[in-house]
Amino acid sequence: MATEPPILDLPLSWARVDATAPRLRTLRLPLSRRTWVPCADIPEGWSFQQVFEAHLRPLPGGVILQGCNETLARYVRSQGGDAAQVGVEAALATDARAKASLMELAHRGRRWGEVKELFPDEVNRRKMAELWQATAHGSKPQLQCAFRTDFDEHLRGFVLVNGEGVWLGALTLSQMKPDYWHVELLLRREDAPVGVMEALILDVKARLRAEGARWLSLGTVPFVEMADPLAAGSCRWPWRPTCRGRAIARMGRWMRFSFDYQGLYRFKQKFGPIWRPLYLCGWPDLPWRILPDLSWTSRHLHLVGYAALQLGARRRRRGENGGK
């Protein structure tokens, strides 16, 4: 019997680290009683198959994984689990040349400062938190566990800082495998000049290429559909188990007032990424009730409630002003 080749891919926000054993962050979901593993630190050389057998399969009640690529989703299904497409990943080839319009934006951004790599110490963690509060979304409820929000010792950080020492934009990276890095935090000061984030991302991409990396992932855009290589046939009835990805995308469109995933898609699209499907994986199954589970635990429902209140307040003000 042929030996299955090791899978070195990991779900997004899982990271390769210098350690002797995997360390998983686990959360027990209240409705489904499944164990969610939003992030993990995995030693170099450990395959996903090893992690699955030694650490995921034994978890009580079954396991839920987010940010799985097609390879991981196929493996989970081969083990008797299930997967549903929930979005797409924007993967940049580090040797791909940027469009002239993007280069011009980045050139404008570089006029305002320079890109520096950060050491994850207490001072820089505090500054990262301050920058987060200074973004356009700093006052809103923040998602939890959707990605790594802490600038810890397993992440790399980069900042575009101006001549007065003010951070205009920053990002953090986790490493999935030696040639593949993933953006975790991507923060822009609300009053930052045009081109700052483009300059930051392109400069980081160039640095990674010089180090031998082949890919820089800009992360997930949820609720966006693309051709699903795992889908079986057409989806005339989107609530059927084999068509859950279509239903999840529809729910995202209903709630787009709370999360501008279309704007996020347009921003990442300008970098010319390769778009890849991303899956929510479950073993031994993927019940529907994990959707409210994840929405509550990740605080997405809190964000929806906040956005609904803000939308209602704006409509009341327009009504008081005669619809203007």
The CA distances from residue 158 to 124, 212, 271, in Å, are 10, 18, 18
Distance CA 31, CA 27 (A): 12
Domain ranges of the chain: 14-88+219-319, 92-218
Predicted TM-score (pTM) of this structure: 0.86
Instruction: Give the model confidence (pLDDT) of 122-133 as tens digits.
Output: 999 999 999 999
Distance CA 98, CA 273 (A): 10
Mean pLDDT over the full length of the chain: 86
- Residue 20 main-chain phi, psi, to 5 deg: -100, -20
The answer, yes or no, to whether residue 249 has pLDDT greater than 50, is yes
Which residue type, as a one-letter code, is found at position 286?
L
pLDDT for 244? 64
Distance CA 49, CA 45 (A): 11
227 against 252, higher pLDDT: 227
92-218 to CATH, choices 3.40.50.300, 3.40.50.620, 3.40.630.30, 3.40.449.10: 3.40.630.30
Distance CA 260, CA 252 (A): 10
pLDDT for 144? 66
The answer, yes or no, to whether residue 115 has pLDDT greater than 50, is yes
Distance, C-alpha 231 to centroid of its chain: 22
Distance CA 79, CA 285 (A): 10
Between strands 167-177 and 156-161, the pairing is antiparallel
Distance CA 215, CA 170 (A): 19
314 against 98, higher pLDDT: 98
Going by C-alpha positions, the residue among 262, 281, 43 that lies closest to residue 154 is 43
pLDDT for 305? 55
What are the tokens at 27? 């959360």
User: Do the Cβ atoms of 192 and 210 come closer than 8 Å?
Assistant: no
Instruction: Give the model confidence (pLDDT) of 9-47 as tens digits.
Output: 999 999 999 999 999 999 999 888 999 999 999 999 999
Instruction: Give the model confidence (pLDDT) of 279-308 as tens digits.
Output: 999 999 988 887 778 776 765 555 555 445
Question: pLDDT-derived band of residue 248, with 50, 70 and 90 as boundaries?
Answer: low
